[in-house]
Amino acid sequence: MNASLPLLDVKDLMVRFRAAGAGIPFTRPRYINAVNGVSLTVAPGETLGIVGESGCGKSTLGRAILNLVEFESGAVRFEGGEVSARDKAAIARLRGETAMIFQDPYGSLNPRIPIGEAIAEVLRVHRKVGADAVPARVAELLRLVGLTPDLAGRRPHQLSGGQCQRVGIARALAVEPRLIIADECVAALDVSIQAQILNLLMELQRRMNLALIFISHDLGVVRHLCRRVAVMYLGRIVELGPTEQVFSAPRHPYTRALLAAVPDIDPDRLLAPPQLGGEPPSPQDLPSGCPFHPRCPHAQTACARGNAPTLRATIPGDLRAGEVACHFDLPPDTQQGEDP
């Protein structure tokens, strides 16, 4: 990816949860396989988008990277050091260098605490500034995210959704992180406000050389914001590469179907008939072989057998051009063949 050492290096991460109602005696426990062997790297200052439909494991992946959920196997290395749940010092170091922004701007703030206090709390916990410097730093952070410091006394319900999301970003920035994971952080906002928040994120990211993992189901937003993108399906990355490459010439049949399903704002680019029938299978019963084979228009008998295909370079020997997890080299993209 990058000649320099990656900031974050995730190897073969697996996360599974015990399914609800699985504790019945004398029955085999059932598991939800949320993340099934994901590897990725993020360079300092890089933006990586993670896209996929609900249940594909993108949120769980984000949380597992920050050790907010325990992972079954695999490894997360941050700035070269391995982070595991048992190593309290490594976790504390990770917490001091990373932050997360959540989807629900109201739900991620305590409704009874004024927003200035909510930001000050982060500064105190991480001992970022001396106690007497906290109010000045809170005001500075509020200004940084485009709010006026006189809002510090307000509670979340007195603010709009967009303003609350700015507070969430200010709280993340209070950590002075090197990596921010934003999980659907504009999904709850109206487009006019969404554009403001995206602009703010882009500006801060550039100015502070932040690395950003942007998890979203909105392909347009990811295309605008991220330099690289990973497409997930049933807990695996099926395609990974430079955003423009993946969006303009998708290699994996799932990426193609996903892109073809996005309704274009141009009324003359009509939506093709749906390429995919049905919905993704349950992560409780993963299909054999390639996870996408039951819905794949190109599937052959071999796709149902053996292990899931792993990511390989689309141009042998050159990972920069993108990677795809498919047995076949599909002919160049034809998904938009129905355009006028």
Partner 1 sequence: MSLLEVRNLSIAAGASTLVEQVDLDLAEGEVLGLVGESGSGKTITCRALMRLLPAGELRISAGSIHLNGRDLARASEAEMRKVRGVEIGMIFQNPNSHLDPVMRIGDQIAESVRYHEGASAGEARSRAIELLRQVGIPDPARRMAAYPHEFSGGMRQRAMIAVALACRPKILIADEPTTALDVTVQAQVLRLLLDLRDRLGLAIVLVTHNLGVVAQTCDSLAVMYAGRVMERGPKRELLRMPAHPYTAALLGCQPGSANPAEPLPAIPGQPPAAGAFPAGCRFHPRCPRAAAICESERPALRALRDRRVAACHFAVAP
Using rule CB under 8 A, residue 203 touches partner 1: yes
Contact with partner 1 (CB under 8 A) among 194, 205, 314, 335: 194
Q: Which is nearer to partner 1, 277 or 316 (CB)?
A: 277
Could you tell me the CA-to-CA distances from 165 to 22, 119, 196 in Å, in that order?
Answer: 37, 13, 11
Q: Is 131 helix (H, G, I), strand (E, B) or coil?
A: helix
From residue 60 to residue 99, the character string flagging contacts with partner 1 as x (rule: CB under 8 A) and all else as - is: ----------------------------------------
Instruction: Name the residue with tokens 């170091």.
Output: 93
Report d(CA 246, CA 249) in Å as an integer.
Answer: 5
Contact with partner 1 (CB under 8 A) among 6, 57, 162, 168: 162
Q: Which residues contact 313 (CB under 8 A, 6 or more apart)?
A: 319, 321, 322, 323
Using rule CB under 8 A, residue 208 touches partner 1: no
Using rule CB under 8 A, residue 192 touches partner 1: yes
Using rule CB under 8 A, residue 199 touches partner 1: yes
Q: Which is nearer to partner 1, 48 or 122 (CB)?
A: 48
Q: Which is nearer to partner 1, 126 or 224 (CB)?
A: 224
Q: How many residues make contact with partner 1 (CB under 8 A)? A: 45
User: Pairing between strand 318-324 and 236-242?
Assistant: antiparallel
Q: Which residues contact 337 (CB under 8 A, 6 or more apart)?
A: none
Report d(CA 170, CA 141) in Å as an integer.
Answer: 6
Asked if 101 and 182 count as a contact pair (C-beta separation under 8 A), the reply is: yes
Instruction: Name the residue with tokens 């006189």.
Output: 150
Contact with partner 1 (CB under 8 A) among 77, 95, 217, 327: 217
Contact with partner 1 (CB under 8 A) among 121, 140, 218, 333: 218
The amino acid occupying position 312 is R
Kindly identify the residues of this chain, within the stretch 225-264, that bind partner 1 according to CB under 8 A.
225, 243-244, 257-258, 260-264
Burial readout 6-36 (b: 16 or more C-beta within 10 A, e: otherwise)? bbbbbeebbbbbeeeeeeeeeeeebebbbbb
Using rule CB under 8 A, residue 270 touches partner 1: yes
Q: Which is nearer to partner 1, 12 or 244 (CB)?
A: 244
Q: How far is the CB of 47 from partner 1 (least distance, A)?
A: 10
- Summarize as ranges the residues that interact with partner 1 (CB under 8 A): 53-54, 160, 162-163, 190-196, 198-199, 202-203, 217-221, 223-225, 243-244, 257-258, 260-268, 270-271, 273-277, 279
